[in-house]
Amino acid sequence: MGLRKTDAVNLAFQAKLAWKVVGDNRGLWTNIIKHKYLRWSTLLDYKSKSTGSPVWRSILQSRVIIRKGIRWKLGNGNNIRFWWNNWIDNTNLVDVLGLDSSTIPNPQIRVCAVITSDHCWDVRVVIHSLVNQEDIVQKIIRDTVTPFYE
């Protein structure tokens, strides 16, 4: 009969709104939302609170979908969290390595910390102090784009 599953359509619309909050810096609506809820955080890092409009709470629920589909372009690496953002294999290193979040060395480190001044991977830092698994380090070097500065 051509009927759609309303839950799936609703989730798609929520994810679309969430994506606009992540990527649209020119829209009036997104600027209002960012000013009201995201002054000191990003959508993906926002800690849920009991306050907020029903639309905002539904946008927060759709972050699961956004996280699965987002992949960071390295650039200079200043905004990319080494362990938590999807910048390798469309997932984060915590999941790739199967780590417990309480055992992660330097959990707040950014990708820029493992890039040398000549825009290459600082393999020594990655191997010895962070990942310590040669196969994953080789995957980072082989499968990700060499860092560059925009």
Residue 10's domain comprises 6-69
Residue 23: inside a domain, yes or no?
Answer: yes
Enter the pTM of the model: 0.57
Same domain, 150 and 137: yes
Count structural domains, the chain.
2
Same domain, 27 and 84: no
Same domain, 95 and 124: yes
Render pLDDT for 38-91 as a digit per residue (tens, 0 to 9).
Answer: 888 788 778 877 778 888 888 888 888 887 777 777 777 788 888 888 777 677
Q: What is the DSSP string of 44-73?
A: TTPPP-S-S-HHHHHHHHTHHHHHHH----
Q: How far apart are CA 45 and CA 68, in angstroms?
A: 14
Same domain, 56 and 76: no
Q: Mean per-residue pLDDT for 113-136?
A: 72
Same domain, 150 and 79: yes
Residues 6+ away with beta carbon under 8 Å from 86: 67, 70, 71, 72, 92
Same domain, 87 and 100: yes
Q: Taking a C-beta distance cutoff of 8 angstroms, is the pair 84, 109 a contact?
A: no
Same domain, 17 and 34: yes
Q: How far apart are CA 148 and CA 35, in angstroms?
A: 31
Virtual torsion, Cα 102, 103, 106, 112, nearest 10 deg:
-100
What's at 140, amino acid-wise? I
Which of 16, 50, 69 terminates a domain? The answer is: 69
Which of 51, 69, 87 terminates a domain? The answer is: 69
Q: Taking a C-beta distance cutoff of 8 angstroms, is the pair 143, 89 a contact?
A: yes
pLDDT level of residue 133 (50, 70, 90 thresholds)? low
Q: Taking a C-beta distance cutoff of 8 angstroms, is the pair 72, 85 a contact?
A: yes
Res. 126: pLDDT tops 80: no
Same domain, 148 and 84: yes
Residues 6+ away with beta carbon under 8 Å from 126: 114, 137, 140
